[in-house]
Amino acid sequence: MTNITLFSQIISKLDRSSFSKLLKAKGIDKHQKGFNSWTHLVSMLFCQFAKSQSVRDISNGLRSATGNLNHLGIQKAPSKSTISYQNKHRDWTLYRDYYYVLLKSFGQHPHLKRVKFKIKSKIFLLDSTTISLCLSLFDWAKYKTHKGAVKMHTLLDYDGNLPHYVNISDGKTADNKGAYDIPLISRSVIVADRFYNDFSLLNVWDSNQVFFVIRHKENIQFKSIKEKELPENRHHHVLKDEIIELTGAKSKTKYPKKLRRIAVWDDKNNQEIELITNQMSWTANTISQLYKARWDIEIFFRDIKQQLHIKSFIGTSENAVMIQIWTALITILILKALKANPKYNWYLSNLVAFIRLNLFVKVDLQKWIDSPFNEQPPPKQNYTQGVLF
């Protein structure tokens, strides 16, 4: 039986030396006493794991772990006013940068690799999700006349379903505009929906030797250059595979090169899906399966909104919202690392719920995650010979 709580063991998996290097590079915590950046991080991770609804919940929750706080690397539980103040004033980019540091270690777990596709290109899924906010409280989050929001533009790594890049903008920013700053990796492939059918953007990607698979809009103007043969005895869902050239004056100026257009039939939704790509050698079926994999990013958005704490916020400033979102992303990174190689087949929702119920239980993390339901052996039967006479 271990003497350290489950939450303490989870926190111990974080690379604190890298966190200290970030603090030094940013010049943070030089004259900080008491509630330093590490204590702030632990407090916000507790907010995510426990799904605390207020700063009072965070303060009282950590206070209930008295005697175990040293295992978390903190001296004492913070007060609610201290948490509120630091959420408003501490630089949120610290937690963004720490997420990317952790991604390099956690995100490289071999069990997060997937081999569904035989292509050598790195696969990324691109989309955005809108997080609604009350405009009267979050007056900086411009979206509509009577509604506020922020938008998470996310480039998801197909291996492990973890964000490779996140750009958080106001709700007004269009999906394609929020994608111009994403980091581009040569020979990788980006899969996206029709909202990214921006030929200027696609030209930037193509110029950087990045492949794309995009669902094209119905109103694009093009002419067919060459129609490719379809496989006879398989992949009957592929309806058309052709090389095209844009004919619209504006679109042709933005993207003067040839494109490949593939039409496939979606049995599930009973509709035809039309895709464009700059990859000319992969099979049409591979292109269609890549687009089908785009659904993974929708599942990711659903998971972070349902399982973590980013639909309501414990602070109203922009800085507080950004800190809460980035600590949520750190939390999902930790959860995916925990889920990567246990003997028990966890669903993410079950793992989150079980950790939430056992945060301050003193049990060995690895044993618990491998076998959460320890079955007790059946009691031995005591057969006693009765006395006949």
Mean per-residue pLDDT over the chain, rounded: 89
**Distance separating alpha carbons of residues 243 and 258, to the nearest angstrom:** 7
User: Strand, helix or coil at 57?
Assistant: helix
pLDDT higher than 90, residue 109: no
pLDDT tens digits for 155-197?
999 988 899 999 999 999 999 999 999 999 999 999 999 999 9
| DSSP one-letter string for 264-296 | EEETTTTEEEEEEES--SS-HHHHHHHHHTTHH
Are 135 and 211 in a shared domain? yes
Are 136 and 230 in a shared domain? yes
pLDDT higher than 60, residue 376: no
**Distance separating alpha carbons of residues 183 and 189, to the nearest angstrom:** 12
Are 223 and 160 in a shared domain? yes
**Distance separating alpha carbons of residues 52 and 41, to the nearest angstrom:** 14
Q: How many domains does the chain have?
A: 2
Mean pLDDT of 284-300: 94
pLDDT higher than 60, residue 383: no
Mean pLDDT of 229-248: 88
Radius of gyration of the chain from Cα atoms? Answer: 26
Which helix or strand (DSSP H or E) is residue 129 part of?
Answer: strand 123-133
Mean pLDDT of 210-238: 89
The tokens 């330093």 sit on which residue?
36
pLDDT higher than 70, residue 88: yes
pLDDT tens digits for 17-61?
999 999 999 988 877 777 899 999 999 999 999 999 999 999 999
pLDDT tens digits for 258-291?
999 999 998 888 889 999 999 999 999 999 999 9
Domain end position, chosen among 306, 332, 358: 306
**Distance separating alpha carbons of residues 261 and 227, to the nearest angstrom:** 9
Domain assignment of residue 206, yes or no: yes
Helices (H), 211-339: 249-254, 284-292, 295-307, 318-339
Pairing of strands 123-133, 189-192: parallel
- Residue 79 per-residue DSSP state: P
CA-angle at 307, arms to 304 and 308, nearest 5°: 65
User: Strand, helix or coil at 263?
Assistant: strand
Domain assignment of residue 205, yes or no: yes
- Residue 217 per-residue DSSP state: P
Are 170 and 270 in a shared domain? yes
CB-based contact 182:168 (threshold 8 Å): no
pLDDT on residue 113: 66
Domain assignment of residue 1, yes or no: no
Helices (H), 90-246: 93-106, 199-207
Domain assignment of residue 182, yes or no: yes
pLDDT on residue 263: 94
The tokens 């605390």 sit on which residue?
52
The confidence band for 108, taking pLDDT boundaries of 50, 70 and 90, is: low
Beta partners for 165? 155
The confidence band for 375, taking pLDDT boundaries of 50, 70 and 90, is: low
Domain assignment of residue 109, yes or no: no
The confidence band for 342, taking pLDDT boundaries of 50, 70 and 90, is: confident
Are 294 and 338 in a shared domain? no
pLDDT tens digits for 319-336?
999 999 999 999 999 999
The pTM score is 0.90
The confidence band for 341, taking pLDDT boundaries of 50, 70 and 90, is: confident
- Residue 256 per-residue DSSP state: -
Mean pLDDT of 63-90: 88
pLDDT on residue 111: 57
Q: Which domain holds residue 55?
A: 6-96+318-370
CB-based contact 39:20 (threshold 8 Å): no
Are 245 and 298 in a shared domain? yes
Beta partners for 245? 223
